[in-house]
Amino acid sequence: MGDKGDKIHIYYDLRAAPITFDAAVYFAAAVAKCRLMGFTRFDVHIVASEFRQLTPRDKTYAIKTKKWRLNSIISRLPWLIPGVENISLYKSDDIELKWPRYPENYLPGVTKQFPYLFSELLRTHGEGGDVQVYSPSDFADSWAKKRIHGKPTLILPLRTADFDGGRDSDLRVWFEVHSRLVAVGFRVIVIPDHMDCLNEKKYQQYDWDSCAEAAMDIDLRLALSTNAYATIGINGGHLAPIWLSDATFIIFGILNKFSAVSSLRALRAHGLELSKQPSFFKEYHQQFDWREAILLTPEYVLATAANFLETMTSPKKPGS
């Protein structure tokens, strides 16, 4: 295992990897694989001397946006994984390569692909790895417990992002869902999209208990979900740390014909099977809903969520 025994160095190079929440998938699979190899301590090295220019999103985002996402998303994710001890951020080509490392054959500027697709999670779990690696910090956990206090609480995270608007939450639908859940006795905390908080603030058009601070901090958002009775949300990258944690959730809008990354073809390419749950999900407590996003109505979301909540009395266990 090298000179330092149980420590391994995990590299993520933004010249070949995305500046999105896909990084959450990469870090989860990487840590799970390294744990299978016997490593328990991790140093993460993020290389950001340049940014990838491959996908439509890569080409749409300005450099200043990519730098902001580097600081607010990519460099924050590893701290939510137990065992991560240090994070190094390289903004130049002066990169120190250490051993042992993951990927084992990584070379700066040479490695062109990083395993960040959902299929990597399924493959790693199939090998015996636990990919649900994220958990909130002690501070965030304590804050969330105070924020929730008392009533059974549901978390409704929204998506109103700055790219691929076809995947966004229909706020009218979700306000109706919120109102009916409140009417039957739940406390509901709405987490707006972080880009909406910074721009139009559409979420403020509705009378609900919103938590903008959790929108702006991955740690606080994760803590609310891991402490809540359940999270009920619309699919988006911001939820990746949640479904890669021990939180209880049901996520709608996984299938979306208006989005290239959520189309039936894309999901199948990532190893997902329609109407089946990912193998690493905890039965009765973690669920993807497979109804086409455009067909989501308040009535359908409420009925499906109610059925999900009723089954939650069964014990958690991996599998579907």
Q: Give the Cβ contact number of residue 51 at 10 Å.
A: 19
Which residues are CB-contacts of 277 (< 8 A; sequence separation ≥ 6)?
Answer: 283, 286, 287, 288, 320
Which residue numbers in the chain have pLDDT < 50? 1-3, 317-320
Residue 162's pLDDT is 65
User: Distance between CA 223 and CA 146 in Å, rounded?
Assistant: 11
In b/e form, how buried is each residue of 4-36, taking b as 16+ CB within 10 angstroms? Answer: eeebbbbbbbbbbbbbbbbbbbbbbbbbbbbbe
Residue 304's pLDDT is 97
User: Distance between CA 267 and CA 261 in Å, rounded?
Assistant: 7
In b/e form, how buried is each residue of 53-63, taking b as 16+ CB within 10 angstroms? Answer: eeeeeeeebee
Domains of the chain: 7-126 (no CATH), 138-313 (3.40.50.2000)
The pTM of the full predicted model, rounded to 2 decimals, is: 0.93
DSSP state of 12: E
Q: Give the Cβ contact number of residue 219 at 10 Å.
A: 21
User: Distance between CA 117 and CA 94 in Å, rounded?
Assistant: 28
